[in-house]
Amino acid sequence: MSNSNGVQLMQKVVEQLRLEASLERLKVSQASMDLKNFCLQNAHKDLLLTGVPSNDNPFRPPKSCLLL
């Protein structure tokens, strides 16, 4: 019984390998160029690069209030 389980497991492995082999792949140079272009096109939306407007920043230091 363990032999048939081993055969079934190997058939699943072979099927997965065939599926992965049939996928279309990109060259690393093309993928990195696409990623660079995407980052440059969306840099104006990135708050880490542009900063958070002070009126929208929930973590800004609180203003002191003086009551007399």
Query: What pTM was estimated for this model as a whole?
Result: 0.50
Whether 57 maps to a domain, the answer reads: no
For 41-59, the pLDDT digits (tens) are 999 999 888 887 777 777 7
Q: How many domains does the chain have?
A: 1
Whether 41 maps to a domain, the answer reads: yes
> Any idea what the CATH number is for the domain that residue 15 is in?
4.10.260.10
Whether 55 maps to a domain, the answer reads: no
For 20-30, the pLDDT digits (tens) are 999 999 999 99
Range of the domain at 39: 2-50
Structure tokens that stand for 60 in this block: 């800004």
The residue ranges of DSSP E strands in the chain, in sequence order, are: none
Whether 44 maps to a domain, the answer reads: yes
Structure tokens that stand for 17 in this block: 């390998």
Whether 64 maps to a domain, the answer reads: no
* Nearest 10 degrees: Cα torsion 15, 21, 24, 25: 130
